[in-house]
């Protein structure tokens, strides 16, 4: 089950800091993996389970299967190379990123467990190839799907209420918590705003 607050992390240490504050749903995103990826995934998954936090593995579907993870998130380009049959056979729940109506149609063909839409606002942490979607697109996407909708990209705490009102089921952030001078306090504020 998705939580209304969804945080992307890059190391298991964030779970030690933020799960005690109430974090219950996180994604492990390791963009440039090395030979330690399987151990990092396994260690983060073990830690998440100890904290009763659901962990989504980003991109690395084989590591997700091998570690016994419950959730996987794939971008559009990952759909070209991932073994969807193996992913489904393993029982992994699947989230898929979308940016355009064509990508949404493609993603729905995989019968995902959630759809992610982004970037909602100009991202602060990375350069992307897509223009900001805006809040109005959230309602449009929500009307087209029958699975939970996750919104991501440039989102700040002050956007939470309007995004939830527009139909978002979960709000995913990175920079607004991890780059905050006090990530623990920011995480608590997000949880208060979304639960």
88-142: pLDDT as tens digits: 999 999 999 999 999 999 999 999 999 999 999 998 766 777 889 999 999 999 9
| Model confidence band, residue 48 (pLDDT cutoffs 50, 70, 90) | very high
Nearest in space to 57 (alpha carbons), one of 94, 15, 16? 94
Strand ranges inside the chain, DSSP E: 5-9, 25-28, 54-58, 71-74, 93-98, 114-117, 149-152, 170-173
| Upstream peptide bond of 63 is cis (omega within 30 degrees of 0) | no
Instruction: Give residue 126's pLDDT.
Output: 65
Instruction: Give residue 33's pLDDT.
Output: 80
Domain ranges of the chain: 5-194
Instruction: Give residue 32's pLDDT.
Output: 82
Instruction: Give residue 11's pLDDT.
Output: 95
Model pLDDT for residues 153-177, shown as the tens digit of each residue: 999 999 999 999 999 999 999 999 9
More confident residue, 51 or 33: 51
Fold classification of 5-194 is TIM Barrel (3.20.20)
């Amino acid at each position: 089950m998705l939580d209304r607050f969804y945080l992307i992390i890059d190391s298991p240490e964030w779970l030690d800091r933020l799960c005690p504050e109430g974090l219950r749903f996180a994604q492990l995103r390791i963009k440039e993996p090395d030979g330690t990826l399987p151990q990092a995934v396994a260690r983060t998954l073990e830690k998440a389970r100890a904290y009763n936090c659901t962990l989504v593995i980003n991109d690395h579907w084989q590591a997700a299967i091998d570690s016994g993870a419950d959730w996987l998130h794939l971008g559009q380009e990952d759909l070209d190379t991932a073994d969807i049959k193996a992913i489904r056979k393993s029982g992994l729940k699947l989230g898929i990123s979308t940016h355009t109506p064509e990508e949404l149609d493609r993603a729905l063909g995989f019968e995902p467990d959630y759809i992610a839409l982004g970037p909602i606002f100009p991202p602060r942490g990375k350069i992307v190839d897509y223009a900001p979607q805006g809040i109005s697109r959230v309602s449009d996407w929500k009307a087209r799907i029958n699975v939970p909708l996750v919104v991501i990209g440039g989102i700040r705490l002050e956007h939470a209420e309007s995004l939830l009102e527009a139909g978002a089921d979960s709000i995913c952030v990175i920079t607004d918590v991890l780059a905050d001078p006090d990530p623990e306090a920011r995480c608590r504020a997000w949880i208060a705003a979304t639960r």
